Structure 1
Amino acid sequence: MPAVDKPLSELLEYKSSSPKPADFDAYWSRALADLAAVSPNLEWVDSDFKVSYANCRSLYFSGVGGARIHAKVAAPNPLPKTPSPAIVMFHGYTGSSPDWMTMLPYVAAGFTVLGLDCRGQGGRSEDTVPTIGNTLHGHIIKGLDDHEDKLYYRNVYLDTVQLTHIAIDLEWVDAERVGCMGGSQGGALAIACAALEPRIKRTSSHFPFLSDFKRVWTMGMDQNAYAGLRDYFRRFDPLHEKEEEIFEKLGYIDICNLAPRIRGEVRMALTLLDNICPPSTQFAVYNAITSKKHKAVYSDFGHENLPGAPEANFQFMLQL
């Protein structure tokens, strides 16, 4: 079997090699309390995209740190008269919210779909939190030289939770039938969202990013989406004198540490030829999940479109 990592037999048992801060749970309790204090100040804007069976709108809301966050929202037209399911979608790194055509099959099946634009990436969301240090080659290192509450992904994870709260509060949405999904960075955000919002009932995550940072570095895979790690060490810690401190701090946003908090059902697609998000880092997340879970292992695939995966996701979410 082709491989870029450990044999499958070892991947099935692999646990993260990255540290978990001692105050990890207190950190996220504090973060969620910060989020609870934010007034979202919702602003709805009709989309130029029109289709008879869906209401398509842009939504702007205030996130932690005062940033205005953008999301697309597509709901059935007419709106359901009885409580109906919702899905929150997350995009890959540097990208933006899914296009309407990706959302519409779910709308046609009766779902309300919300697609987040990650702050400061390829969509319309602001990133207004000032931090010490640079962001060259990626957002992983944003806030690494500042207080841990300034870590970029801490705020993005909170944005995913806030958008989920907005979905749950829609009068036609059934709070007991909400799911989330994404691939790569979106797969990481789906894991984080489900971990921080226990009302998420179903989560689909493909080859997630933001996992087991030390393993990525140990393998020499700190490039592409993880290039910020290597560049940070080369510029600011060339002798790795702060290595332990750096990986400890990154542990706050490592989804391996968040995964055990998930209570809903999870489906993951894992790729064994992935040189962007190494297979062991994907399995580290899957193996950390303690709730009901399923895996689809793509032995001959890397960080790419996966045959049958969209259909499998759709069938999985139809069971909400």
Structure 2
Amino acid sequence: MSTYSPQSVKKLNFLGLLALLIGFSQLSLAQIPKQYLEISVSPDKSDWVYQIGEEVEFIVSVTQSGRPIAVENVRYFVKEEKMQSLQEGPLSLKEGKATISAAGMKAPGFLRCEVFATIDGKEYRGMGTAAFEPEKIQPTVKMPEDFEAFWNAGKADLAKIPMEAKIIHVPERSTDAVDVYHVNFRNIGNSRVYGVLTVPKGGEKYPAILQVPGAGIRPYLGDLAKAGRGAIVLQIGIHGIPIDLPQNTYTNLASGALSGYPMFNIQDKDLYYYKRVYLGCIRAVDFLVSLPEYDGQNLAVQGGSQGGALSIVTAALDSRIKYLSAFYPALSDMTGYLNDRAGGWPHIFTGNNLKYHNFPKAIETLGYYDVVNFARILKTPGFYSWGFNDDTCPPTSLYSVYNQIKAPKEVFVIPETGHWTYPEQGARSDNWLFEKLKK
């Protein structure tokens, strides 16, 4: 495991942050801005990694513009990620600093320290997460005996459906180097997949990248930058709706008809929402390989969060994918909460969700969709990246997936990051992909 200390990564300035937010937002690789009140919580080891049973000290610093500042109601909590507090209390700062000692974990996992402080009536939060032998974390989700047969049948059904692709040139968004197209094509259930296709101009044959989206409902703009580097890029949505509608349409869908979509039809593995989504990714591969500009050999898939999950799923189900890049994959070891530890997004078995979805049929269904089980059959070389401070896709769930992968793999861990990335992570992912695709 390649782990990089927080001190080794340069902080973003605001303009760099804005540029990266725009550039990576379609992949759910968002950048997080600095807070008005900066609360730094850092384990005392530079790589944040400990042996089981080893004690950890969390070093706390509370500053504004790099200087200590008077704050109110400072308190801390130490707990296994997403679990109940093991240790808590008020925290006294001396010149903006404090140290919190905590006992180590007795099993592989992550121990998190959260610190809260108030200034001008607003509360701020900082956290640091110590890893305890994460390479030994094992998943809780079970592999259905007919897992591969289930998906082979789904792919066979998909193959019977004609693609009926529609490709519409968008000249106002095209450039001297790249053509932009809005595309759509048939999927299962009489639905369609909508996306933005960007193709380098030049009349040559090119490698291709499928970009799969993070969670949510939104428009898509395409990736002209990667196309400018010499790759065909197809950026898709997953909800079977056009990707160029007014923003208020997506906002209304997110709060209305598509609110809570990760739980739709969870009681039935054949009707569950993500069956159409996963097979839609395969259909997107069908579309890409049909393009006359495709070089016929070099194809990758890339995404973050929900898109990280879809990257692994698509590569596991489709041998035409030669490389994958996944950031903090969601939908991973979702049954963790049923085993007294953190589970992956969308956190189906915790909070209010638990009382609605904790029944045998739901657990059975998720076995067919959990990324862990796709990792178990994955043969595609992959690049992965995440941090230890992720609240949305807890690192326990990420390592539950990563530790099952037998295919060639590389992980770039920046411990202090959460459900966001530094530009170095995106750049390393892109460079890794292009190095592989252009061999």
Q: TM-score range by the shorter chain?
A: 0.7 to 0.9
Q: 1:23 aligns with which of 127, 133, 146?
A: 146
Equivalent residues of 1:271, 1:279 under 8 A apart? yes
Unmatched 5+ residue regions in structure 1?
126-133
In the alignment, the residues of structure 2 paired with residue 224 and residue 212 of structure 1 have an alpha-carbon distance, to the nearest angstrom, of: 9
The aligned amino acid for 2:221 is D
In the alignment, the residues of structure 2 paired with residue 66 and residue 231 of structure 1 have an alpha-carbon distance, to the nearest angstrom, of: 33
- The aligned counterpart of 1:233 is 354
Equivalent residues of 1:213, 1:247 under 8 A apart? no
In the alignment, the residues of structure 1 paired with residue 319 and residue 351 of structure 2 have an alpha-carbon distance, to the nearest angstrom, of: 34
Unmatched 5+ residue regions in structure 2?
1-42, 49-79, 82-108, 111-129, 246-255
Q: Secondary structure at the match of 1:52?
A: coil
The aligned amino acid for 1:44 is I
How far did residue 313 of structure 1 move? 1.3
Q: 1:11 aligns with which of 112, 131, 134?
A: 134
Equivalent residues of 1:19, 1:247 under 8 A apart? no
- The aligned counterpart of 1:32 is 155
In the alignment, the residues of structure 2 paired with residue 193 and residue 255 of structure 1 have an alpha-carbon distance, to the nearest angstrom, of: 10
How far did residue 123 of structure 1 move? 3.8
Larger RCO, structure (CA 8 Å, separation 6 or more): 1
- The aligned counterpart of 1:140 is 262
How far did residue 65 of structure 1 move? 0.5
The aligned amino acid for 1:269 is S
Q: 1:307 aligns with which of 415, 418, 423?
A: 423
Query: Which deviates more from structure 2 when the two are superposed, residues 49-58 or residues 224-233?
Result: 224-233
Equivalent residues of 1:135, 1:142 under 8 A apart? no
- The aligned counterpart of 1:258 is 374
The 4+ residue runs of structure 1 with deviation greater than 6 A are none
In the alignment, the residues of structure 1 paired with residue 350 and residue 315 of structure 2 have an alpha-carbon distance, to the nearest angstrom, of: 26
Aligned ranges for residues 60-75 of structure 1 at < 5 Å?
A: 60-75=184-199
- The aligned counterpart of 1:195 is 316
Aligned ranges for residues 241-252 of structure 1 at < 5 Å?
A: 242=359, 244-252=360-368
- The aligned counterpart of 2:282 is 161
Mark the CA change 1:229 to 1:68 in structure 2 (over 3 Å): closer, same or farther: farther
In the alignment, the residues of structure 2 paired with residue 255 and residue 76 of structure 1 have an alpha-carbon distance, to the nearest angstrom, of: 33
Mark the CA change 1:228 to 1:72 in structure 2 (over 3 Å): closer, same or farther: farther
Q: TM-score, normalised by structure 2?
A: 0.64
How far did residue 306 of structure 1 move? 2.7
Deviation string for 1:283-307 (max 9, x for gaps)? 1111111111000112111101233
Q: Kindly tell me the number of residue pairs found equivalent between the two proteins.
A: 302
The aligned amino acid for 1:115 is Q
How far did residue 171 of structure 1 move? 1.7
In the alignment, the residues of structure 2 paired with residue 216 and residue 22 of structure 1 have an alpha-carbon distance, to the nearest angstrom, of: 23
In the alignment, the residues of structure 2 paired with residue 19 and residue 162 of structure 1 have an alpha-carbon distance, to the nearest angstrom, of: 27
The aligned amino acid for 2:264 is K
In the alignment, the residues of structure 2 paired with residue 11 and residue 271 of structure 1 have an alpha-carbon distance, to the nearest angstrom, of: 12
Query: Which deviates more from structure 2 when the two are superposed, residues 2-11 or residues 64-73?
Result: 2-11
How far did residue 218 of structure 1 move? 4.7
- The aligned counterpart of 1:298 is 414
- The aligned counterpart of 2:387 is 271
Identity of aligned residues (%): 25
Equivalent residues of 1:137, 1:228 under 8 A apart? no
Mark the CA change 1:229 to 1:96 in structure 2 (over 3 Å): closer, same or farther: farther
How far did residue 122 of structure 1 move? 8.9
- The aligned counterpart of 1:89 is 211
Q: 2:399 aligns with which of 283, 289, 293?
A: 283
How far did residue 188 of structure 1 move? 0.5
The aligned amino acid for 1:72 is V
Whose helix fraction is larger, Structure 1's or Structure 2's? 1
The aligned amino acid for 1:207 is Y
How far did residue 230 of structure 1 move? 4.4
In the alignment, the residues of structure 2 paired with residue 63 and residue 195 of structure 1 have an alpha-carbon distance, to the nearest angstrom, of: 19
In the alignment, the residues of structure 2 paired with residue 86 and residue 52 of structure 1 have an alpha-carbon distance, to the nearest angstrom, of: 19
How far did residue 104 of structure 1 move? 1.7
In the alignment, the residues of structure 1 paired with residue 289 and residue 212 of structure 2 have an alpha-carbon distance, to the nearest angstrom, of: 17
In the alignment, the residues of structure 1 paired with residue 271 and residue 416 of structure 2 have an alpha-carbon distance, to the nearest angstrom, of: 39
- The aligned counterpart of 2:167 is 44
Q: Tell me if 1:215 matches 2:336.
A: yes
Q: Greater CA radius of gyration, 1 or 2?
A: 2
Query: Which deviates more from structure 2 when the two are superposed, residues 289-298 or residues 136-145?
Result: 136-145
- The aligned counterpart of 1:107 is 227
Equivalent residues of 2:343, 2:396 under 8 A apart? no
How far did residue 249 of structure 1 move? 1.6
Q: Secondary structure at the match of 1:314?
A: helix
RMSD value, Cα: 2.6
In the alignment, the residues of structure 2 paired with residue 223 and residue 8 of structure 1 have an alpha-carbon distance, to the nearest angstrom, of: 17
Q: Secondary structure at the match of 1:140?
A: helix
In the alignment, the residues of structure 2 paired with residue 229 and residue 165 of structure 1 have an alpha-carbon distance, to the nearest angstrom, of: 37
- The aligned counterpart of 1:131 is none
Equivalent residues of 2:140, 2:339 under 8 A apart? no
Q: Secondary structure at the match of 2:286?
A: helix
